[in-house]
Structure 1
Amino acid sequence: MTETTAPPGIRLTQYAHGGGCACKIPPGELETMVSGLLAGSGSPPDLLVGLDDGDDAAVVRIEGGRAVVATADFFTPVVDDPYDWGSIAAANALSDVYAVGGEPLVAVNLLGWPRETLPLDLVREVLRGGLDVAATAGCHVAGGHSVDDPEPKYGMAVTGLADPSRLLRIDGGRAGLPISLSKPLGIGVLNSRHKATGEVFPQAVAAMTTLNSAASRAALAAGARCATDVTGFGLLGHLYKLARASGVTAVVDVAAVPYLEGAREALRDGYVSGGTRRNLAWVEPHLDAGKVDGDELLLLADAQTSGGLLVAGEIPGAPVIGELVPREGAPLRLR
C-alpha cells in the first residue's frame, strides 16, 4: 500500500452499494441477458474468441500471424485508499488479457466520479495507481472517458496482442489435466470486512495488485491451452464455466485450495457479500459437493477481485487444486 494525499476520514467504500467484482451482475442473470444475441449469425472466422462461452476477452485474428485482444473492466471502490483502488482496478482489467494468453499494449481509463461529493484530489490518486500498474505491465495508458456519476467507478479498456496459435481458452480443457490456481482465495471476505469495519488487510491488497503476467507466461511455456481468471463469480463459478465449455467434470481437492490469512476468520464473523451467496446459488444445481459443509462452499464461491489464473495444467509456483476428468454427472465435484 502506498501513502497518498487522500484527506483523512474519507472512506471510498462507503460511497458505493457494493465493492469490486462482488458488484457484478449475477452470472445467471448475465447469461440470460446475452443469450441469443448472435443466434443464427455464426461467428466470423477471424473472431477467435467471442461471446460463445464467456471467455475473459475478445480475440480477433489480424495480419502477420497475430491476434488483437480487447477487454474492459471497471468497478466501485473495493478499498478506501484511492491509490490502491486504482492499482487494483488496473491489475484486474489487465488480467483479462493475460487470461487468454495475451500481452497488454495500450489502455484507456474508464472513470465515473461524484464530482460534487468527493474531492478531485482523490481522482488523481486513483488514476496514478492505475498508471503505475500499467507501467509495470509495460502497457501504455492513453486518455480515456469520464462521467459525473453518483457512485465512484474506475477501470480500464485494454487492448493487447496474442499469438492466435497459442491462446488460453475457457473451452480448451481436457480430461487428465491438473487444475492450478495462481493466487489464494479469500479476497472477497476480507474486502467485505474492510468495507464494514475499516480494517486494512495488506495481504489482500498485495494479492489484488499482483499482475497475472507471470502466471500467464508460465502457462503458455508449459503448453497450457485452457485458463480463466478468478474474479466476481468465485472459484466455483469460473471453474463451472470452464468445465461446461470444455465438456469435462472439474474435481476440486478442497484441502488443497489456498486461502489468504484472515479469510476464515472473516467468514466466521459473517463478512460474506451478496455476490458470493448468489455465486453459490448459481452453481449449486451443477455441483456435487459431497461432504463439504456450507461455510467451505461460501469460501469456494467467494467473489474475488483481481484474483489469480485458473489453469488446466501445471505451472511453477501455483498449487494444484484438482483435476479435469471425463464428464460424469455434475460438471463440478468436490472431494
Structure 2
Amino acid sequence: MNEHPRLTALAHGGGCGCKLAPSVLRELLADQPVAQVFPQLLVGTETSDDAAVWQVDDNTCVIATTDFFMPMVDNPRDFGRIAATNAISDIYAMGGRPIMALAILGMPIDKLPAEQIREILAGGRDICAEAGIPVAGGHSIDAPEPIYGLAVIGLCHPSELRRNADARPGDVLILTKGLGVGIYSAAIKKGALDADELAEMVASTTLLNKVGSDLAKRADIHAITDVTGFGILGHGLEIARGAGLTLRLRLADLPLLSRAAELAEAGFFTGASTRNWAAYGTDVTLPEGLAPWQRNLLTDPQTSGGLLVACAPEAAGEVLEQIRAAGFPLAAIIGTAETGPAGIVVE
C-alpha cells in the first residue's frame, strides 16, 4: 500500500491558481524603481509582460523569465511536465525561442520520497527535451510545500519581439487553448474528474506554445501574451491597458475544455477566480444577467494556458488556420480590439 500523501494534499493551492491577485501584485510593485534607465532593457515590469527582454545587439534580444508553483495534479511526472510547459511558455509568448532552463525546486523532503521528487524533475526534463533545450542547472531547498518550476532563457530578433502592449485598433483576438483548467483543478480536489477528463487537462497543460515563435515572424501579428493565473479577463486587461484600447470578447466564442461549463455550473471554481474578479472587475463590463458560474469561466486561472494573439483583421482567418495546423484544435477567434477606454466588454 502506498502510504505517501497525495501531492495536492501537501499544498494549500495549485498551479497558477497560487499566483498573487493582480491588485496585490500591483501594490507590491508600485514603488519599484523604473527600469527603463537601462536603454537595452526593452521590456521590464512596466507593462506586466510575460518576460524581461534585453537587447544585446542589432540582431539579438535575450528573453528571461521564471515561473514555479505548487502541484495541481498528484502524478509527480505530470506535475513536472505541466510546470515546465508553463514556464517555457513565457518565452514563446514574447516571440522567442528558448535556449536553456534552470530548475527551481522546493520539497518537503520529510514527507515525499526521493523517487517522487526524481519523477518531478524527470517530467520537467521531458518537456525541456521536447522544446529542444537542456536543464543546465538550478537550485533546491527544503520547503514545507512542494514547489517546482524553471527559469528560462530565450532569444529573438528585435523585429520578432512581441509585447502584450502593442495591439492596435481593429485587431482580431485569437485564443489558442480551451479555458477551464482551474475549474478542472477544483474538480480534481473533490474527486469529480474522471480519468479521461484528467488526461484532457494534462494534454492541454503540457502542450508547448511553440507556435508563438512562428507567429512572431509575421508582421500582421501585433501582440501576444499567454493566459495563465489571472484568467482570460486578467490577461486580456494587460493587453487593453498596455495598448490603451477596449477589448470586446464574445462569451459564446470562447473555447472551453469539454466539461468546463458543466463543472462551473455545478459550482466548481477556485479561490483564485474570486480573487481575480475582486482585483479587476471594475474594468470589465459583463452582460446583464450573467450567471456567477459564467463569470467564473472568465476569471478562471489557467495553468499553462493558451496564447492570446492580436492580429490584423485581414489576416485572422489565415492565422487561425496556422495555429490549428500547429496542433491547437480548440483555437478560436474570440473578439476584437477597438479605440476606447482601457478595459474589457464581454458580449
Q: TM-score range by the shorter chain?
A: over 0.9
Q: Could you tell me which of 22, 38, 41 is aligned with 1:27?
A: 22
SS in structure 2 at match of 1:170: coil
Equivalence for 1:297: 295
Q: Could you tell me which of 329, 333, 336 is aligned with 1:323?
A: 336
CA 1:290 to 1:49, structure 2 compared with 1: closer, same or farther past 3 Å? same
SS in structure 1 at match of 2:158: coil
CA 1:222 to 1:78, structure 2 compared with 1: closer, same or farther past 3 Å? farther
Question: What are the superposed Cα offsets for residues 208-248 of structure 1, whole Å, 9 maximum, x if unpaired?
Answer: 00000024413533631211100000000000111011010
SS in structure 2 at match of 1:144: strand
Q: Does the 8 Å CA contact 2:95/2:212 hold for their aligned counterparts? A: no
Equivalence for 2:257: 260
Q: Does the 8 Å CA contact 1:216/1:309 hold for their aligned counterparts? A: no
Aligned counterparts of 1:19 and 1:184: Cα–Cα separation in 2: 19
Q: Could you tell me which of 176, 182, 186 is aligned with 2:176?
A: 182
Equivalence for 1:334: 346
Across the aligned residues of Structure 1 and Structure 2, the Cα RMSD in angstroms comes to 1.6
Q: Could you tell me which of 88, 92, 97 is aligned with 2:86?
A: 92
Q: Which amino acid aligns with 2:114?
A: L
Count of paired positions: 328
Equivalence for 2:43: 49
Equivalence for 1:286: 283
Equivalence for 2:13: 18
Q: Which amino acid aligns with 1:274?
A: G
CA 1:43 to 1:254, structure 2 compared with 1: closer, same or farther past 3 Å? farther
Q: Could you tell me which of 253, 274, 277 is aligned with 1:277?
A: 274
**1:294 Cα shift?**
2.3
Equivalence for 2:328: none
Equivalence for 1:197: 191
Equivalence for 1:72: 66
Aligned counterparts of 1:326 and 1:63: Cα–Cα separation in 2: 35
Equivalence for 1:228: 225
Q: Does the 8 Å CA contact 1:55/1:228 hold for their aligned counterparts? A: yes
Deviates more, 1:72-81 or 1:197-206: 197-206
Question: Structure 1 length as normaliser, TM-score?
Answer: 0.94
Gaps of 5+ in 1: 1-5
Equivalence for 1:3: none
Aligned counterparts of 1:110 and 1:204: Cα–Cα separation in 2: 23
Gaps of 5+ in 2: 325-330
CA 1:222 to 1:320, structure 2 compared with 1: closer, same or farther past 3 Å? farther
**1:8 Cα shift?**
7.0
CA 1:7 to 1:141, structure 2 compared with 1: closer, same or farther past 3 Å? farther
Q: Could you tell me which of 307, 310, 321 is aligned with 1:309?
A: 307
Q: Could you tell me which of 125, 133, 139 is aligned with 1:139?
A: 133
Question: What are the superposed Cα offsets for residues 294-319 of structure 1, whole Å, 9 maximum, x if unpaired?
Answer: 22111011001000000102323231
SS in structure 2 at match of 1:228: strand
Task: Work out the percentage of aligned pairs sharing the same amino acid.
Answer: 42
Deviates more, 1:269-278 or 1:11-20: 269-278
**1:65 Cα shift?**
1.2
Aligned counterparts of 2:234 and 2:213: Cα–Cα separation in 1: 20
CA 1:134 to 1:149, structure 2 compared with 1: closer, same or farther past 3 Å? same
Question: What are the superposed Cα offsets for residues 91-136 of structure 1, whole Å, 9 maximum, x if unpaired?
Answer: 0000000010010000010000000111110011101110010010
Aligned counterparts of 2:158 and 2:3: Cα–Cα separation in 1: 49
**1:7 Cα shift?**
4.8
SS in structure 2 at match of 1:33: helix
Aligned counterparts of 2:127 and 2:4: Cα–Cα separation in 1: 26
Question: What are the superposed Cα offsets for residues 150-176 of structure 1, whole Å, 9 maximum, x if unpaired?
Answer: 100000000010111221101101110
